[in-house]
Structure 1
Amino acid sequence: MADKTCFLCKEKKPLKSFGKRKASPDGLQYQCRECISQYERNGNRPSRQPEYRAKYFQEKEKGSESYLKNTRRAHLKKMYGITPEIYEKMRSQQKGKCGMCGKIPKKRLAVDHDHSTDKIRGLLCFKCNTFIGYIETSRDIVEEATIYLEKYCE
């Protein structure tokens, strides 16, 4: 059986002593399970520290404006590379209406983007954004849907 040296304790241990980690070359963590357990028992894991947990759950529970604002900001930046200010500018240019059906949605408008280029096209309501996403994957469905509707329209 193969062995691996733990990064922390420097001991050579069997592979079963290491947890899984997809990102590492061998698919295993760099530290053995023992060392990780010891590290966490000492209170070094941020999510286990009382003051961290208290603040996190307090903000999350009350749905604080800053918590919601920061998660929205992070989502827009990560997914589309825009800030909430850019989103608001786009929304005001569209007068709060869906770029496709022209209706004002009850919920927030979704950022519509081309999946092949990641270029933002505009803001759409949930239904239109879902519809566009479906059409992008299967363009001939529009023609089939039209035929279907015309068949039962009479």
Structure 2
Amino acid sequence: MSDLKSGKNCPDCKEWKPAQDFGSNATSPDGLSFYCLACNRRRAAISYRARRERAGFKVRPKIDVPDGHKRCPKCEQIKPHSEWHKSSRQWDGLAARCKSCRKVDGRAGYFMRKYGLTEADLQRMLTDQMGVCPICVATRPEHVDHDHETGKVRAVLCFNCNAALGMFKDRPDALRRAATYVEGIVWKPTLVAPGVYRLPS
């Protein structure tokens, strides 16, 4: 057996490497593996991928990821660890998807759970509204509006218009009076009994 403090040439990468760069192999005359550790890993990966492909499985191309980075399977981008949430469930302590993709998926999940809408449904609504709030017809819509009694989705409104409907508690009569008030007509109730008023029709 050779001196483990020495080294040898790897027949794959053609480089001389110290003994610690080789695995152990009791059947080898020098007690070292035939290929260096790096080449062994590479050859094993190639062999594994070939077996999987022969078995009919789809194999994703291997991508070299630099230290301190991780590849997101959703957006397929390599990003620094700062772009990932922590997760004790994953082997590397980082979430399976990057922060951006988790945010998109979280938004899609929220709209599906709350309104039964997919991203395609939302985009179709925005297209039908020509990209503006249907009430003020000026601002970019961002908030899904729905009937609080029936749950039916009505449209996508801007923040101010959506908040205004909420302040008026979705009451058409109050909204109509507000419109006529802004137009200069003040609605004056008539006292018909103590504490009882009749509004103009």
TM-score calculated relative to the size of structure 1: 0.52
CA–CA distance in structure 2, aligned partners of residues 75 and 52 of structure 1: 28
CA–CA distance in structure 2, aligned partners of residues 89 and 148 of structure 1: 33
Find the counterpart in structure 2 of residue 124 from structure 1.
157
**Where does 1:1-154 land on structure 2 (aligned, <5 Å)?**
47-49=87-89, 51=91, 53-55=93-95, 59-60=98-99, 64=100, 66-105=101-140, 109-136=142-169, 142=175, 143=177
Q: What are the superposed Cα offsets for residues 43-70 of structure 1, whole Å, 9 maximum, x if unpaired?
A: xxxx5345374126x722xxx2x22221
TM-score calculated relative to the size of structure 2: 0.41
Gaps of 5+ in 1: 1-46
Q: CA deviation at 1:133?
A: 1.4
Find the counterpart in structure 2 of residue 31 from structure 1.
none
Looking at both structures, which has the greater relative contact order when contacts are Cα pairs under 8 Å and sequence separation is at least 6?
A: 1
Structure having the higher helix fraction is: 1
The answer on whether the counterparts of 2:88 and 2:94 sit within 8 Å (CA) in structure 1 is no
CA–CA distance in structure 1, aligned partners of residues 153 and 114 of structure 2: 11
Q: 1:147 to 1:91 in 2, by over 3 A?
A: closer
Q: How much identity, in percent, do the aligned residues show?
A: 30
Larger radius of gyration: 2
Q: 1:138 to 1:122 in 2, by over 3 A?
A: closer
Q: What are the superposed Cα offsets for residues 126-147 of structure 1, whole Å, 9 maximum, x if unpaired?
A: 0000111121267776547976
Find the counterpart in structure 2 of residue 39 from structure 1.
none
Q: CA deviation at 1:111?
A: 0.7
Q: CA deviation at 1:81?
A: 0.6
Work out the number of aligned pairs and report it: 98
Find the counterpart in structure 1 of residue 8 from structure 2.
none
SS in 2 for 1:54: coil
